[in-house]
Amino acid sequence: MTHQFVLILDFGGQYNQLIARRVREHNVYCEVKSYKTPIEEIKALKPIGIIFTGGPNSVYDPASPQCDPEIFQLGVPVLGICYGCQLMALTLGGKVIAAQEDTAREFGKATTYYDTTCPLFKGLPAEGISWMSHNDYMAEVPAGFTLPAHTAMCSNAAIADVQRGFYGVQFHPEVNHTKNGSAMLRNFLYEICHAHGDWTMEDFKNSSIQSIRDKVGNGQVLLALSGGVDSSVAAALLAEAVGKQLTCVFVDHGLMRKDEGDEVEAAFARWDINFVRVDASARFLQRLAGVSDPETKRKIIGEEFIRVFEAEGKKIGQVDYLVQGTIYPDVIESGLGDAAVIKSHHNVGGLPDYVDFKEIIEPLRQLFKDEVRQLGRELALPDYLVKRQPFPGPGLAIRIIGDITEEKLAILRDADFIFRDEIAKAQLEDSMNQYFAVLTNMRSVGVQGDGRTYDYTLALRSVTTTDFMTADWARIPYEVLDKVSVRIVNEVEHVNRIVYDITSKPPATIEWE
């Protein structure tokens, strides 16, 4: 099925992924592409609408990113956000200058007034908070544009040429700080671009299964299954598509949470695939013996994982396709145009050099994380996999401060399980985005059973976040923390003190190592 398509042109904005996520939340398919995308390629995509992102530059700087002016001759609605708004104004004959101290330089929350007869603000309250972030000011707007929104500081918080379908906003409707911002984007999609809302996970699942079958034919497929959300959903999708032609190699490094390895294996019992679980825990522990430095731990675990996967792969024989759990943020973060490269395409690095395959299959390449979870539900994966919190590849090895031993792993598994169990009993799982226990390397004096103890201090960590780039510590009710603390010190040996981490990110990171 061919979906309606919205094109997001990236001008280096920090919220480019967020814009795309918001569009897809309204069941409209979109992709983020560089502002350098040739006009002929844009025409071939046949977008029903185009969105210009924000960006850090000033549009009047000759070195700033520009778009092909022909975009405005395609007869396609355009929404410019922040830099994108100013670029639209400048390209169509307006004037943009640096804001003076007494004019419209704005940052943060601003009370904004909307003309609700404008299609972009249809059905919205006439007043609301918007998130501003701009140094520049549209001194003159192009001919034919009206000003359907303003703030106390800025008379042209939004511009609109309704006849041609061109709209621009100085603020960021994609962020949660902008009240009714999602509704504005929906208005652009449905009132202005006349979207049908034909992007659903059920349709994606069905079309992907057929596409995989067409590509693979009678070939053999190999997938390294970590037990994380991405690899698990990719495995389930391939299992539906090719069944016994798929071999999943699950490397159990012995650093997972309590019962997690068994849960992963049980989740895939319903599919007729070749599921290979490798118990490599002794091998990993041997390599990690005496290692305390977190970066060294990571390197050892990453290298050993590849070596185990390599050894198992050699037993399989000819492999035609290798599956990777690449998701859309991986693609975007690899860099678009002049946008900053946040991280390299991490799924490509470290492939076993022995694998002789025709090509890589990346079935989730088009999806954001929340969409991957939706797809997992469509594939009937159990909730404990679909809703699995971010879990580091090195597992519990970097939630144990200092060297790794069997005893420390057992302590942390039991304590972490109790923490997660009490959060579930209090029905707080959906109010926080990540929560876990950390076994510190600090011992302190305690009293248990009228006797002196000298045992470990355990730290609890829980955060709320929308993007994992920043995070705030979760305000867990005291009575829940009390239950967790009492259970751990009574049920887990060698722990006599519990602390709760109340540091946000930044300055701290979410994980301790």
What per-residue confidence (pLDDT) applies to 21? 87
Whole-angstrom CA distances from 60 to 64, 88, 269, 336 are 7, 12, 60, 22
What per-residue confidence (pLDDT) applies to 337? 44
What per-residue confidence (pLDDT) applies to 349? 38
Number of domains making up the chain: 3
Among this protein's residues, is 67 annotated catalytic? no
End-of-domain residue from the set 353, 386, 419: 386
End-of-domain residue from the set 156, 172, 192: 192
Tell me 431's DSSP state.
G
Domain CATH code at residue 337: 3.40.50.620
Residue 512 lies in a domain: no
Q: Please tell me whether residues 184 and 205 are part of one structural domain.
A: no
| Interacting residues of 24 by C-beta distance below 8 A, sequence separation 6+ | 30, 199, 368, 371
Q: Please tell me whether residues 94 and 167 are part of one structural domain.
A: yes
Amino acid residing at 293? D
Q: Cα separation of 375 and 377, whole Å?
A: 5
Full pLDDT tens readout for the chain, 513 residues: 578 999 999 998 877 888 988 999 999 999 899 999 999 999 999 999 999 998 888 888 888 999 999 999 999 999 999 999 999 999 999 888 776 655 555 566 788 999 999 999 999 999 998 887 656 778 889 999 999 999 877 888 899 999 999 999 988 999 888 889 999 999 999 999 999 999 888 988 998 999 999 999 999 999 988 888 898 999 999 999 999 999 999 989 999 999 988 988 888 888 889 999 999 999 999 999 999 998 899 889 888 888 888 788 778 878 888 888 888 777 765 554 444 333 333 343 344 454 556 778 899 988 888 889 999 999 999 988 888 887 887 889 999 999 999 999 999 999 999 999 999 999 999 899 899 999 999 988 887 766 778 889 999 999 998 766 678 999 999 999 999 999 999 999 999 999 999 999 888 889 998
Peptide bond into 77 cis (omega under 30): no
Domain that holds residue 443: 399-500
Q: Which of 82, 85, 193, 248 is catalytic?
A: 82
Q: Cα separation of 310 and 222, whole Å?
A: 11
Q: Please tell me whether residues 364 and 253 are part of one structural domain.
A: yes
What per-residue confidence (pLDDT) applies to 135? 67
Q: Please tell me whether residues 186 and 212 are part of one structural domain.
A: no
Q: Which of 3, 134, 172, 253 is catalytic?
A: 172
What per-residue confidence (pLDDT) applies to 365? 87
Residue 461 lies in a domain: yes
Does this model's pTM top 0.85? My answer is no
What per-residue confidence (pLDDT) applies to 71? 96
Among this protein's residues, is 174 annotated catalytic? yes
Q: Please tell me whether residues 138 and 232 are part of one structural domain.
A: no
Whole-angstrom CA distances from 422 to 415, 426, 427, 487 are 11, 6, 8, 9
Domain CATH code at residue 37: 3.40.50.880
Among this protein's residues, is 118 annotated catalytic? no
- Measured torsion, CA atoms of residues 340, 341, 343, 348, in degrees rounded to the nearest 10: 160
* Helix 369-378, helix 201-216: angle, nearest 10: 80
Q: Which of 106, 118, 154, 174 is catalytic?
A: 174
